[in-house]
Structure 1
Amino acid sequence: AGSFNVSALATGRTPTELLNIWLNNAANIFHESYWKRTTTMDNTLSAAFDAAPIRDMAISIVGQTTLGQVKKKILIPAFNLDPSSTRKEEQKATKSDTISGLKPPITTATGDLTQQLLRMRIPRACGGWSDDPRWFPEYFHNFDSSDNADTLLADACLRSAAAPTYFPIYQGYVDGGVFANNPSLAAITSCICEGVQLSDICVLSLSTGNNPHHIPKEMFGDGNWGVYQWGMNLINLLMDSTSCAATHQSACLLGEQFYRIDPRLTSDIDLADSSAATIDMLLKIASEVDLEPVVEWLKIYWGSGGETSAPKERLEYDWMLL
């Protein structure tokens, strides 16, 4: 959902328009037909949902817009399953062998380590080499150093939204949430790679709610679990753990320049639950979040409301993120 939200906002949609888009499309996107339920062993042998509805929504939001045409800075994570065969036409040499096309800022007191790093044979997610066969996380962005200018924004969204077991693999990619469910740290490190000083980076992190996932002791017993027992618990654990870790690391790096809105949900909600009751509950929780502290933080660090002006450098990097 994050990639669609940021793309809609970055291309001029208002939050109200975005809310209506989801209200009008969620039930169709997360609809499982009777035929599919009765022929695929409860999604064991195929993805839970068809790709067509979410693809149609992506096109309706951004059309044929490319990343290079987006004025706001934007970064969308996705995970490349097979770099040796996916996106062959797009996988040309980047402008510089760097982290997903981003500039390497690594220096020491003795000089620049860039050349040393470029001689290392490491995965593209760390070094930028397109001939490495291993799967890797990838960022689709429109920074000055980007080689994604011609990538359709809709394709980037769908690559990032292809959550394993929920939606089919899209163009060789799956959901960026498998490594950046909370993209705060990806945003911070990407800005650093573009030469932005840490002191000039502010992050407002918006979650979709703090799901009370846990495994009580009476459930895991002696702890001797296999694939069957872990099941969806493992997916939830991995996604929640990466999000919590990113929050902690981002807060450590930025201190008061990092603010996360993460309201606690009243019950465990599945990623695909689009029932009317659940939507009403989420809207109620959202309406009860106290935004006054957020507004005050924005006034201090982003110059919102005109009471306090942020440094010019910060305003230049006012960008939307997944």
Structure 2
Amino acid sequence: MFFSGDPSTRKRIDLGGRSSKERDRKNLLEQTRLERNRRMWLRQQNSAAIKIQKCYRGRKVVRNEQSKLREKCHKIYGKYCQNLDRSAFGPDSDFLRQFLFFFNAENNDDVLALVNICRLLQQFVQQSGDVVRLFSGLDYSSTCPLVNYRVKQLVYTCIRALHQNRNQLKDQFLLVPEESSVTAIPLLEVLVLLIDIKLPWSCKIVGHMFQNNAFGLLREIILTAKDDVDNRIYPAKGSSLERVLTVVMCHIGQKPCICSYFDPRYDFSSQILTIPFLWNAFPDLRQVCFVLILFYGSFFFIWVISGR
């Protein structure tokens, strides 16, 4: 047979041992895999977009409700809650629940309202002498869960307000309680009032502070006050911030205390007692720590060193 000049008639042999059908099958499988991955990626994108939109709409609704409650609260109690009475702190009042819901630490009016609330709270307690009855009414046992929740939220809100505005308030942290006309002192003194170890909810508050990294916030507050400490030749003794640290330290190693601790990296000793200039800024706190070591012996010392 003679050559016709048409090379297509020649038989082609795949030296790799694979036929064209096998190549087409592999290409089809690869194309199918890519299409499947593309569809999965589109589903993930759509799901993420739905979640983002849902979160955005939810936050928008929350902000609208917060604005409505803020306006309602201003109409009833005044812009800075100056019209509060004792009943506003009681279990039958919705004031604290509403205020803590719309409170924004970045809103200056909300912070000033919180400061005024703390002043009035101290005033009412001084008049009656019973902070438990102020929050719970006649029977604390029947309103215990509600009261504990409100007090925990109030304490943590005060800490958040101090932390958020720490740069503006750094020259006030070392002031004594008598200088209550400034912003920081009423917030700090309410912490001292509500964390008192004699109160039935005190350990629950300290445990709540631990769970929400409140000691980390306090650490940053103290570090922010460092510049003011360096400018003082003699640090003010008995400052409100020192009183807060002292009342929290009273929960360390004492038998009546039933505080819960979960992670030693975030507890009081790890976050606060490791600050280098702590004793220079708070000389009375050093004495309290020394007394606890003498009273509880090696247990307290090991607790401080180990973080538990």
TM-score range, shorter chain: under 0.3
- Larger CA Rg, structure 1 vs 2: 2
TM-score using structure 2 length? 0.26
Higher relative contact order (CA 8 A, sep 6+): 1
* Larger helix proportion of the pair: 2
* Larger strand proportion of the pair: 1
